[in-house]
Chains A and B, each alone.
Chain A
Amino acid sequence: MAATPPLKPIHPTEPATGIVPALTVRDLSISFGKNKVLKNVSIDIAAKSVTAIIGPSGCGKSTFLRALNRLHELTPEARMEGDIRLFGDDIYARNVEPVLVRRRVGMVFQKSNPFPTMSIAENVTVGLRLNGVHDKKTLAERTEQSLTMAALWDEVKDRLNAPAISLSGGQQQRLCIARALAVKPNVLLMDEPASALDPLATAKIEELIVDLKKEYTIVIVTHNMQQAARSSDFAAFFYLGELVEFGTTTKIFTNPVQKRTEDYVTGRFG
C-alpha cells in the first residue's frame, strides 16, 4: 500500500502509555446522498484492546464501523471523505481493493449469519477456501484453532459436518466469530454482536471479547452500557454523527468531560 507521511496522533483524553494505534481515523465524513451521517470524526484505535462505540440509534456508529472495512460502500450513493490508516496503510488509497482491506479487518454482525448451505466446518473455512487455500491439513488446523478461540470447539468438535443452522443462536454467533478469525484479520469489528442473544450467550460472547484482545484489536458497537463498561478498554461516544467524547472506558463511565456523555451513560437520554 502507498507510503504516506505519518499523521499527528490523536490520543484519548486520558492517554494510556505505550499504545500503538491499529487504526488512525482523521476527519472522516460519510454521507448517503444528501444525508450526512458522520461529521469529521478523528480517533486513534489502540491495538490489542477493545474500543466500544456507544451512542443512541442513528448517531452514525454503525456507519463508522462499516467505514473501517469499507463495507459502507455497498450502500448506493455512499460518499466518504477523510483518511483511515490501518497500521499506517491508507485503506482508501486508489490502488487498494476493498477486498484486501476486508481480509485484514473482519466483521461480526448483529444478526448471526452462518451460511445456511454449509456445514459448521465449511463455514469456518469459507473465507480461506474462497481465497484459494485448499490444503486439507491447513484448513483442518485453522478450523480447530478458530473454533477454539471462539470458545465453540468443545461444543461442536464431534459434529463439524452438521449444518451450521442446526446450532443455537449463541453458538451461531460464536461460529460467525470463528469464521471471521479464520482468515487471521488484524482487526475485528463487532456490530452489536450480542443484542439478539439471551443473557447467558451474551456473557459468553463478552468473555470471549476480553479473551480475544490478547491477539486482536476489537472495535465493538453496543447499545448495552453494562456491556461496554465490562468488556472495553476505551469508549467513544457518538451523537448525531459527531464524536462527542473519546477516552478510557473508566473515564467515560465515571468522569466524562461532556455533559451529553454523562447524560447518555447514566441513562438520562438515548
Chain B
Amino acid sequence: MIVSNHHWRRFKNVFMQSLTFVCALLVVLPLVMVFYHLLREGFSSLNWNFFTQLPKAVGEKGGGMANAIVGTFILLIQAALLGVPVGVLGGIYLSEYGGTKLNWWIRFAADILNGVPSITWGIVVYALMVIPMHGSSALAGGVVLGMMMIPLVMRTTEEVLQLVPAGYREAAYALGIAKWKTIVKIVLRTAMKGIVTGVLLALARVAGETAPLLFTALGNLGWTHHLTEPIAAIPLQIFNYAISPYDDWHRQAWAGAFVLLMLVLAVNVGVRFLTRDRLAKPNSRTL
C-alpha cells in the first residue's frame, strides 16, 4: 500500500514536471519559428536598394523602403518627445510624491491603459487629431505612439526609482539638500540606467505598432516633407505589401519584417548590455 502510493506520487511528480516543461517549450517555439522564417525569407530579400530607394509603382519590380525606415524613426522621435517627459515625470510623482490613495488610482489607470488594444488608441487619436486637422499626418502618428508610451514609461520609471535604496535619499536630506534636488541629482542619477532601459523598451514596443498608425500616419509611398502630411512606417509598409497580390512586394514585406525584428532585437540586446551594472536593474518582467 505504502510502496504503490509512493510510485503513484512519483509518477504525478514527473508528469507535472514534464507538462510544465512542454508548456515552457511552447512559449519559446513561436519565437524560434518566427526567427527561422524571417531569416530564410527576409534576409535573402534584403539588398542595398531596400535601404536607399523609394517604393516603385504598383506592379513594378525593385525599389525599397527608405521612406518607411526614415518614417519609423521620425515617428519614434515624436513619440519619445511626448512619451518620455510625461512618462518620466509621472513616474517621479508616483515614486517620490503623491498620497497612497491617489497613487493607487493613477497606477490602476496606467495599468489599464497599458492593456488597451492599440487599435483603440488609433481611433482615439483619429477622433482627436485626424478629423479636426482634416487628414492623416505624421504628427498624429507620433502622438498616438507617444500616448502609448506614457503609461509604459511611467510604470517602469516608478519601479526603477523604488529600487533606489531609501538610504541615499535620507543621506541627501541629512545634508540639508532640498527634496527636488535630491530627486534630480541623486535619485534620478542613480536610477538613470534603469530609466533609459524602460524608455528604450517602450520605444521598441511601439516601433512595431501597425493598427494605430493605420488611423493616424496612414502611410506614404514617397517622402514626407511636412509633419502634417501622411508618413510611411515600416509596419505600415509590411501590412500594405503583405496584403498585395505581387510576389516582389511579398518579398519586400519579409525584408521589412526582418529589419523591424532586428531593430527590436538590437534594442533588447542593448538593454541587457546596459543593465549588467550592479545598480538600477529594471524589473525583469519588463524585459
Q: Give me the interface of A with B, judged by CB distance under 8 Å.
A: 69, 71, 74, 76, 98-104, 106-107, 109, 111, 113, 115-117, 126-127, 130-131, 176, 179-180, 183, 189
Contacts and interface: CB of A to CB of B under 8 A. Distances in A.
Interface string B136-159: 000000000000000000000000
B176 A102 contact: yes
B170 A109 contact: yes
Nearest to B193: A117
Contacts of A103: 175-176
Interface of B: 100, 165, 167-178, 181-182, 185-186, 189-190, 192, 279
A189 B176 CA distance: 14
B174 A106 contact: yes
A130 B177 contact: yes
Nearest to B174: A107
| B interface secondary structure, majority | helix
A180 B192 CA distance: 25
A109 B176 contact: no
Contacts of B182: 130
Given A130-B181, A130-B185, A115 B175 contact: no
Contacts, number: 75
Contact of B170 (A74, A106, A179): A74
A57 B176 CA distance: 28
Contacts of A117: 186, 189-190, 192
A115 B167 contact: no
Contact of A115 (B173, B174, B176, B186): B186
Most buried by B among A117, A131, A183: A117
B195 to A, nearest CB: 13
Given A115-B186, A130-B181, A102 B167 contact: no
Nearest to A70: B173
A74 B173 contact: yes
B190 A183 contact: no
Most buried by A among B167, B177, B189: B177
B103 to A, nearest CB: 12
A71 B167 CA distance: 12
B161 to A, nearest CB: 14
Contact of B168 (A76, A113, A127, A189): A113
Nearest to B181: A130
B171 A99 contact: no
Given A130-B175, A131-B176, A180-B175, 8 more contacts: A102-B174, A102-B176, A113-B167, A113-B168, A113-B170, A115-B168, A126-B175, A180-B174
